[in-house]
Amino acid sequence: MSDVNCTRKGCKDVFNSFLVKNATFASNLEIPCIKAEYRLPAKLISFSKAVSKADASAWVHFYEDDAAFERLWTSPKRYLPILKRFAGVIAPDFSLYRDMPLVMQQWNVYRSHAIAHWLQENGISVIANVRWGDWRTFDLCCAGVPQNATFAVGSHGCVKLLREREYFKRGLEHVVKLLSPKTIIVYGTTPDEIFGRYKDAGISILQFNSDYMDAHRKEVSA
């Protein structure tokens, strides 16, 4: 990546170049690489809940509306002490909608990795998050993600409708082929139609219910 000089008088680091200090980069888009993390979470908590709660046993996730955690990008140093109160972090899940301009999807992958790298540099355990849209982002979402390790993915909202399920299924197949993971952490459902083949192949699937799933179960049992 080209050297960035933000030390000039009056030069404000408006694109958070400090986040990628000491980083190595992958692909021609220079996506920051995330180091492999082999510790696994026992429980998850959303970022929006984590800002007002401390739980040393939980890992912070970002499987919620982008508006809930955009502030981490705009003010990362403000939230560093908060994230350090937890066992670890799953890298931010910035949206990659298929109808978004491709350059914005690329930017969101970059932002997720830049924050993940910076958190690792600051002593926080971070698991890479993989998010794709259509086939144009199947390779992109794997850039800088460690092979033969662990990555996380959110299935919530991606497998209910047939069209969405097909994109998710094809994307996951591509990602697993490229990354050869030992473990896949899944936030949401893990239907056998999609995940069964990976379980049979010996990949560990670590599933966590989404907040919506837990809330719905409480309503049903009430």
Q: What is the pLDDT of residues 182-206, one digit of tens each?
A: 999 999 999 999 999 999 999 999 9
Helix (H) or strand (E) holding 45, with range, is: strand 44-46
Domain assignment present for residue 27? The answer is yes
What pLDDT, in 10s, does the model give residues 136-191?
Answer: 999 999 999 999 999 999 998 777 767 788 999 999 999 999 999 999 999 999 99
Please indicate, yes or no, if residue 121 is contained in any of the structural domains.
yes
Kindly state whether residue 52 falls inside one of the protein's structural domains.
yes
Residues with Cβ within 8 Å of 51's Cβ and at least 6 positions away in sequence, in order, are 79, 82
Global pTM?
0.90
**Cβ(128)–Cβ(146) below 8 Å:** yes
Residue 131 in contact with residue 113, Cβ under 8 Å?
no
In a domain, 5, yes or no: no
Between 54 and 215, the higher pLDDT residue: 54
Q: Does any domain span residue 73?
A: yes
Q: Residue 7: which pLDDT band, with cuts at 50, 70 and 90?
A: low
The total domain count for the chain is 1
Residue 4 in domain = no
Residue 10 placed within a domain: no
Across-strand partners of 128?
151
153 assigned to some structural domain: yes
pLDDT number for residue 181: 98
Structural domain including 200 reads 17-221
Q: Which residue has the tokens 């082929």?
A: 177
